[in-house]
Structure 1
Amino acid sequence: MLLPEEFEKWKKATGLNIHEIYGQSETGLTCAVSRGMKIKKGSMGKAIPPFEMQIIDDKGNILPPGTEGNIAIRIKPTRPIGLFSGYLDILLLRFNCQKKIHFAIMKILFQLQMFRFIWNPKFPRRYFHQGYQVLAPLNLSDFEAINRCERDLPENFNFAGDVLDRWAQLEQKGERPPNPALWWINDKGAEVKWNFRELGLLSRKVANALTKSCGLQRGERVAVILPRVPEWWLVNVACMRTGLIFMPGTIQLTAKDILYRLTASKAKCIVASDEAAPAVDSIVSNCPALKTKILVSENSRSGWLDFNELFKSASEEHNCVKTGSQEPMAIYFTSGTTGSPKMALHSQSSLGIGYTLCGRYWLDLKPSDIMWNMSDTGWVKAAIGSVFSTWLQGACVFVHRMTQFNTDIFLDTLNNYPITTLCSAPTVYRMLVQKDLKSCNFKTLRHCLTGGEPLNPEVREQWKSQTGLELYEGYGQTEVGIICANQKGNEIKPGSMGKGVPPYDVQIIDENCNILPPGKEGDIALRLKSTRPFSFFSEYVDNPSKTAATMRGNFYVTGDRGIMDSDGYFWFVGRADDVIISSGYRIGPFEVESALIEHPAVVESAVVSSPDPIRGEVVKAFVVLSALFKSANTEKLALELQNHVKKVTAPYKYPRKAST
Structure 2
Amino acid sequence: MSARDVTPEWDWTAQGRALGVGADGSFNAGLLHLGADPAVIWHREDGSTHRYSGAALMRRAGEIAGVLSALGVGRGDRVAGLISRRPAVFATALAVWRLGAVYVPLFSGFGGDGLRVRLVDSGPKVVVTDPANRANLAAVQDVLPDLRTLMVGGAGEPGDALLDDMINRLNGVPAPVATGLHETSTIMYTSGTTGRPKGCLIPHRAVLSLLPYVRYCLGVGPGDVLFSGADAGWSFGLFTTGLAPMSQGVSRVVYEGPFSAEGWWSCVRAVDAGHVAAAPTAFRQLAAAGAKLVPPGFRAATSAGEPLDAATIDWFDRTVGVVVHDSYGLSELGMVTGNLRHPGAPAVAPGSMGVALPGFEVDLLDPDGSPVRGPGEGRVAVRDNGYFLSAGYWGREDEWAARFADGWFLTEDLARRDEEGRYWYVGRADDVIVSAGYNVGPVEVETVLLEHPLVVDAACVGEPDPVKGQVVAAHIVLADAGTTPRPEDLLRELRTWVGQRVGWHAAPRRLHLHPAIPRTATGKVQRRALREGGNRW
Aligned-residue offset at 1:413: 2.2
1:413 corresponds to 2:267: yes
Tell me: higher relative CO, structure 1 or 2? Use CA pairs within 8 A at least 6 residues apart. Answer: 2
Q: Deviations over 1:502-555 (max 9, x none)?
A: 211100112433110233211000134xxx513341111111221011112231
State the match for 1:195 in structure 2.
53
Consecutive aligned runs of 4 or more in structure 1 exceeding 4 Å deviation = 122-125, 127-134, 335-338, 628-635
Secondary structure, in 3 states, of the residue corresponding to 2:33? helix
Q: 2:62 is aligned with what amino acid?
A: R
Change beyond 3 A, Cα 1:384–1:282: closer
Conserved 8 A contact 2:433-2:471:
yes
Q: State how far apart, in whole Å, the 1-side matches of 2:396 and 2:454 are.
A: 45
Q: Deviations over 1:10-46 (max 9, x none)?
A: xxxxxxxxxxxxxxxxxxxxxxxxxxxxxxxxxxxxx
State the match for 1:356 in structure 2.
211
State the match for 2:521 in structure 1.
none
Conserved 8 A contact 2:103-2:186:
yes
Q: 1:163 is aligned with what amino acid?
A: H
State the match for 1:610 in structure 2.
463
Aligned-residue offset at 1:440: 3.7
Q: 1:208 is aligned with what amino acid?
A: G
RMSD, matched Cα: 2.6
Structure 1 residues 252-401: aligned runs within 5 Å: 252-287=109-144, 290-314=146-170, 317-335=173-191, 338-349=194-205, 351-401=206-256
Normalising by the residue count of structure 2, what TM-score does the alignment of the two structures yield? 0.88
Change beyond 3 A, Cα 1:650–1:153: farther
Secondary structure, in 3 states, of the residue corresponding to 1:309? helix
1:524 corresponds to 2:377: no
Change beyond 3 A, Cα 1:316–1:197: farther
Aligned-residue offset at 1:398: 0.8
Q: Deviations over 1:172-211 (max 9, x none)?
A: xxxx6xx301110112133321111111111111110111
Q: 1:381 is aligned with what amino acid?
A: F
Structure 1 residues 15-164: aligned runs within 5 Å: 138-140=17-19, 154-164=24-34
Secondary structure, in 3 states, of the residue corresponding to 2:142? helix
Aligned-residue offset at 1:405: 1.5
State the match for 1:577 in structure 2.
430
Change beyond 3 A, Cα 1:635–1:195: same
Q: Deviations over 1:396-422 (max 9, x none)?
A: 1111111x3211122222233211211
The structure that has the greater radius of gyration is 1
Change beyond 3 A, Cα 1:420–1:123: closer
Q: Which runs of 5+ in 1 are unaligned?
A: 1-121, 144-151, 168-175
1:184 corresponds to 2:42: yes
Q: State how far apart, in whole Å, the 1-side matches of 2:11 and 2:318 are.
A: 44
User: Which residue among 276, 284, 289 is the counterpart of 1:435?
Assistant: 289
Conserved 8 A contact 1:415-1:441:
yes
Conserved 8 A contact 1:438-1:466:
no
User: Which residue among 353, 358, 363 is the counterpart of 1:507?
Assistant: 363
Q: 1:564 is aligned with what amino acid?
A: R
Aligned-residue offset at 1:630: 7.3
Change beyond 3 A, Cα 1:484–1:229: same
Secondary structure, in 3 states, of the residue corresponding to 1:354? helix
Deviates more, 1:515-524 or 1:302-311: 302-311
Q: Which runs of 5+ in 2 are unaligned?
A: 514-537
Q: 1:262 is aligned with what amino acid?
A: L
Change beyond 3 A, Cα 1:580–1:637: same
Conserved 8 A contact 2:30-2:96:
no
Q: State how far apart, in whole Å, the 2-side matches of 1:194 and 1:265 are.
A: 31
Conserved 8 A contact 1:201-1:316:
no
Q: Deviations over 1:51-104 (max 9, x none)?
A: xxxxxxxxxxxxxxxxxxxxxxxxxxxxxxxxxxxxxxxxxxxxxxxxxxxxxx
Conserved 8 A contact 1:154-1:325:
no
Conserved 8 A contact 1:601-1:629:
no
Change beyond 3 A, Cα 1:569–1:210: same
Alignment identity in percent? 27
Change beyond 3 A, Cα 1:279–1:476: same
Equivalent pairs counted in the alignment come to 506
Q: 2:433 is aligned with what amino acid?
A: I
Aligned-residue offset at 1:475: 0.5
State the match for 1:559 in structure 2.
412
Change beyond 3 A, Cα 1:455–1:239: same
Q: Deviations over 1:436-491 (max 9, x none)?
A: 31564422x32211110100001000011111111111100001101100012322
Change beyond 3 A, Cα 1:493–1:486: same
State the match for 1:147 in structure 2.
none
Q: State how far apart, in whole Å, the 1-side matches of 2:183 and 2:137 are.
A: 29
Aligned-residue offset at 1:628: 4.4
Conserved 8 A contact 1:358-1:389:
no
Aligned-residue offset at 1:315: 5.0
State the match for 2:317 in structure 1.
464
Aligned-residue offset at 1:226: 1.4
State the match for 2:535 in structure 1.
none
Q: Deviations over 1:546-584 (max 9, x none)?
A: 101111223111110011112110010001111111222
